[in-house]
Amino acid sequence: MATRDEVMEILRTVEDPELGMDIVDLGLVYEAEVSDSTAKVTYSLTSMGCPAGPLIAQDIEGAVRQVEGIEDVELELTFDPPWTPDKMSDDAKFILGFG
């Protein structure tokens, strides 16, 4: 059976194309849950009008489907709470100049 850690690890391969960093380090992944063969990913975008939103959703689904044992992927886009730069990892903050 797939695990949450496996899902989170594969999500590190999904990049925000505008920022050139993975969505986990950017703090865009709020939660990943695995139940049987279904993974549910709750995520956000840097803004409601993010033009890369559909591409990011497609990339999340494609990546998570690569995890052995995952057959279904549920995506939940949320802006509650809104994303802010303080959700980024320390490495992402350093690279993007937030400090």
Is 86 part of a structural domain of the chain? no
3-state secondary structure of 35: strand
Average pLDDT over residues 38-67: 96
If pLDDT is split at 50, 70 and 90, which confidence band does 34 have?
very high
Domain count, the chain: 1
Residue 89 domain flag: no
Average pLDDT over residues 10-30: 96
**Residue 37 has what pLDDT?**
97
The alpha carbon torsion through 31, 91, 15, 12 (nearest 10 deg) reads -50
Domain that holds residue 36: 4-80
Q: Is residue 97 part of a domain?
A: no
Q: What is the pLDDT of residue 98?
A: 84
Domain annotation covers residue 95? no
- For residues 34-50, give the mean pLDDT: 95
pLDDT digits (tens, 9 = 90+) for 70-90: 999 999 999 999 999 999 999
